[in-house]
Amino acid sequence: MRVQLQILYVRLIHLTLAIMDLPQALRNKKNIYHYPLKIVEQEYIAATKSVFTGQCATFQAAMKLTVTIGQCFGLNPVLGISEMDPSKLRFCFCSWRCSCSIASIIVQLSVVFLCVLKMFRQSDASLSSNTFLVFSSTNCMTTILFLRLSRKWPWLCQHIAKTEAIDPNMDATLARRCNTCCIAILTLALVEHLLSDLSSGAAIIDCDNKGYEGFITSSFPWIFSVLPYNDVFGFIAQLINLQCAFNWNFADVFVICISLYLTSRLDQVNRRVEAIKGKHVPPLVWRTIREDYCRITRLVRRVDDAIGEIIFMSFTNNLFFICLQLLHMLSEGVRSATPSCHPDEPDRRPLQGYEHAIYFVFSFIFLVTRSLGVSLMASRVHTASKKPAFSLYDVPSEAYCVEIQRFLNQIHGEIVALSGMNFFNVKRGIVLTIAGTIVTYELVLMQFTGVTPTAAPT
C-alpha cells in the first residue's frame, strides 16, 4: 500500500504541474520525480507483499494457472508457484518436480531412440512413416527447453515484480484472459487427442480382434517392433504420447499468455499517451511516460531472452505439421467414410467409418487456428510498441520539446518484439511470411513425394 501511495503521489504532482503550468524552473526539479521512485526501488523487497494484494494485475497471478497445468506434465518444475510473492519462487534439482521432469525427458529420449532404430531397420522409410519421430523429438526438445527455462524463471518473475512495484499493471481482465486462452486451447487439444485415439481404435474394432493389445501395437509400432508387448509398456507409451501432445500445444499456450501480459503493459503506457493527446503538457510529463515506456521495453527484451528458444520451437513445430497435413490432404484427400473390413456384417464402429475424416478435419482446422493465434498474439507486442508514435505526432508545436523527440527516436530506433532466438521478429507480417513459406515447402514436398493433386486419390 505504501508503494501505491507513493506512485499516486508522483502522478498527482505530474497532474498538478500540467494543469497549473508552473514555471520551467519548478517543473525541472529532479527530486519531484526521482525521489519517490528511488524509494520504491530501494524498498522493493519490503514492499513486495503490499503490491501483491490482488488489486493489481501481476505476472504471477496471470501465469499461475498456466504454469500449474504445465507442471502436471513435467514442464517448468519451479517451486513456489502457488505463492503470490515471486520472491518465494526457487528452482532445485533435488525436488520431486524436477525429478519427474528429468524422468520424462529420459523416457522421451528412449522413445526417440526406438523411432530412429525403426527408421534404420525398415527399407521403405518415408515422411509419413517417420512423422512420430519428428513429433517425439521436437516435443522432447520442448521439455528440455522448459527445464532450462525453469532455472531462469524465479529470476525473471522477480525482475517483472520489481517493475510492477514501480509501475503496477491495472488491467483487471488480464488473468481472466490468460486463463480462458489456456483452458480453451488445452480443452480443444484434448478433444483432438481423443479423436485421434477414436480413429485408431475404430480400425482395430473393425479389422482386428486383439482388442487393447491390437490398439497399442498398431498405434506404437516403433516400440513394439523392438520390444515384446507388455501392458505396462503399453500404458507408459500412452502416457508419453499424451504428454507429447500436451507439450506440443502447451508451448503455444505459454507464448500466448506471455504475449497477453506484455501487450497489456504496453497498452497501459499507450493509454497514458492518448490521455494527453493534443494537449499542452510540461516536458516532465513526457519524460515520465517515456521512462515508463523504456522500462516496459527493457522488460520485453528480458522476457524474449528467456523464452526465445520456446518461441522458435513453437513456430517450427506448427510450420512442419501444417505442411505435413496439407501434403496428406493433397495426396489422399478427405474421405467421406473409411470402408469396412467386413462389409457383410453390421458396422461396429462408433461413427460408422467417419472417425478418420472427422479427426483429420478437426485437427487441421485446430492446428491452423492455433498457429494463427500464436502469430497474431505475439505480434501484438510489436504493434503496441509502435502505437505511441501516432499520438506524439499530434502534439502542438508550442508544446513540442526534447523529451518528445527522444520518445519518438526510441520508438522508431529500436525493435520491440518477441523473437525466435533472434532469427526472426514476430510482427504482423510474419503471418504472410509463414503462408508463403508453407506454399514453397509444400511444392518441394510434392515434388519429392511424387504427389499430383490433379490425380484421383488412391
What φ, ψ does residue 419 adopt, rounded to 5°?
A: -140, 160
pLDDT band for position 52 (cuts 50, 70, 90): very low
pLDDT band for position 168 (cuts 50, 70, 90): confident
Helix 30-42 crosses helix 2-20 at what angle (to 10 degrees)? 170
Q: Where are the alpha helices (DSSP H) in 333-456?
A: 355-386, 388-392, 402-413, 430-449
**pTM score, two decimals?**
0.82
Instruction: Tell me the pLDDT tens digit for each residue of 384-398.
Output: 999 999 888 888 888
Q: What are the C-alpha distances in Å from 160 to residues 44, 169, 352?
A: 12, 11, 53
pLDDT band for position 276 (cuts 50, 70, 90): confident
Nearest to 304 by CA among 381, 374, 245: 381
Q: How far is CA 141 from the centre of its chain?
A: 15
Helix 59-71 crosses helix 231-275 at what angle (to 10 degrees)? 170
Nearest to 250 by CA among 101, 68, 90: 68
Asked if residue 43 has pLDDT above 60, the reply is no
Element (H, E) at 255: helix 231-275
Check residue 229 and give its pLDDT. Answer: 77
Asked if residue 323 has pLDDT above 90, the reply is no
Question: Residue holding cell 517515456?
Answer: 290
Check residue 324 and give its pLDDT. Answer: 84
Asked if residue 82 has pLDDT above 90, the reply is no
- For the chain, what is the mean pLDDT? 79
Out of 161-170, 258-267, 437-446, give the one with best mean pLDDT.
258-267
Asked if residue 434 has pLDDT above 50, the reply is yes
Check residue 26 and give its pLDDT. Answer: 38
pLDDT band for position 6 (cuts 50, 70, 90): very low
Asked if residue 355 has pLDDT above 90, the reply is no
Instruction: Tell me the pLDDT tens digit for each residue of 144-167.
Output: 999 999 999 999 999 999 998 888
pLDDT band for position 441 (cuts 50, 70, 90): confident
Which cell is 304 given?
A: 524474449
Share of the chain above pLDDT 90, in %: 29
Check residue 457 and give its pLDDT. Answer: 47
Nearest to 3 by CA among 34, 57, 40: 40
Question: Residue holding cell 520504491?
Answer: 40
3-class DSSP assignment, residue 123: coil
Check residue 253 and give its pLDDT. Answer: 94
More confident residue, 223 or 369: 369
Instruction: Tell me the pLDDT tens digit for each residue of 192-248.
Output: 988 888 887 777 776 766 667 777 777 777 777 777 777 787 888 888 888 888 988
Check residue 303 and give its pLDDT. Answer: 94
More confident residue, 348 or 201: 201
CA distance 179 to 190: 16
Check residue 21 and give its pLDDT. Answer: 39
3-class DSSP assignment, residue 50: helix
Check residue 315 and give its pLDDT. Answer: 93
Check residue 58 and give its pLDDT. Answer: 86
In terms of Cβ atoms closer than 10 Å to its own Cβ (0-12, 13-18, 19+), residue 301 is: middle
Share of the chain above pLDDT 70, in %: 77
Check residue 69 and give its pLDDT. Answer: 92
Residue 419's DSSP bridge partners are 425
Which cell is 93 given?
A: 534439482
Q: Name the residue type at position 391.
A: S
The number of CA neighbours under 13 Å toward the Cβ of 221 is 9
Check residue 67 and give its pLDDT. Answer: 92
CA distance 41 to 34: 10
Check residue 307 and give its pLDDT. Answer: 93
Q: Report CA dihedral (200, 201, 202, 207) to the nearest 10 degrees.
A: 90
